[in-house]
Amino acid sequence: MANAAPIAIVIHGGAGMIVRGKMTAEFERAYREKLEESVQAGYRILQDGRGSTEAVVAAVEVMEDSELFNAGKGSVLTHIGSVEMDASIMEGKFLNAGAIAGVTHIKNPIRLAMAVMEHSPHVMLIGEGAEVFSIERGFEQFDNSYFRTERRREQLLRIQAADGDTALSEDMTDVIDSDIDDKKLGTVGAVAIDNKGNIAAATSTGGMSNKKYGRVGDSPIIGAGTYADNKTCGISATGHGEYFIRTAVAYDICARVSYKGLSLQAAADEVVLDRLKGLRADGGIVGIDSNANVVFSFNSEGMYRASIDASGGLMIKIFAD
């Protein structure tokens, strides 16, 4: 262990219009506690000398199991009121990756993405095929109602009411006014580097509220929402997925580190604060470089985020300041 590389982990729970004045003290406390639980779950694995892949999966699972985040239980609802989830994971050592999209019965989609990476010849499986694969791998199947929460139902009704959409014929008068921001760009993710210098990144989401037609965003797309390369960095993104796909955000940041010789922070800021903002695309990223430097960059009002850096320092933040 004398030659062990420094360890670090960083997580996010989504970015968007997260304004201090709109969040109750109770909600803020709940988010901070869950962010700390998540980052500590991953860090303990790194401290034990285990790998970065296991660490990011553990961190993401904590958020998937919480109703606070748009991933796993608590995912946003589609146009017809169901839940469809996406996730991806990538290892920086050999550029191995796995992803799933449009699954409806998997408690922890990030673990199924890892199974695709480790136990299939493919990178991405979607919909019914991904669910068949999950059954073959012994994953417990959960009824879709497990993932649906009252908070997300009210969110969907507010969005559909604002759009004049009557897809769900319910009385919406009691849910039109709320301090829960419907525009929050909900995704969860984690990036870690272990004591062998291996970087892993993972991202999981329920997608976009009121989405139609089997819409898939950037979260399960390698190079857009997730990327890892031991030579440069690992990235997990959260934001307006269509733009993150078009601009290959996660890969673009790592490429700028490699080709332009930029620091990870400078590369991330070029993409998030300049390129994406120029396209009016909201969101952000968390990342770690090959020297275990932790980075955040976002152009929205806030981003749920936490990290434990190479010195062991814990950071938890929600708002832009």
Catalytic machinery residues: 187
DSSP secondary structure string, 175-228? TSS-SS-TT-B--EEEEEE-TTS-EEEEEEE---TT--TT---STTSBTTTEEE
Residues 6+ apart with CB under 8 A from 54: 45
**Cα dist. 252→96, 256, 260, 284 in Å?**
18, 6, 11, 13
Residues 6+ apart with CB under 8 A from 33: none
| Cα 189 from Cα 275, distance rounded (Å) | 22
| C-beta of residue 62 within 8 angstroms of C-beta of residue 110 | no
| Cα 4 from Cα 175, distance rounded (Å) | 53
| Cα 187 from Cα 157, distance rounded (Å) | 20
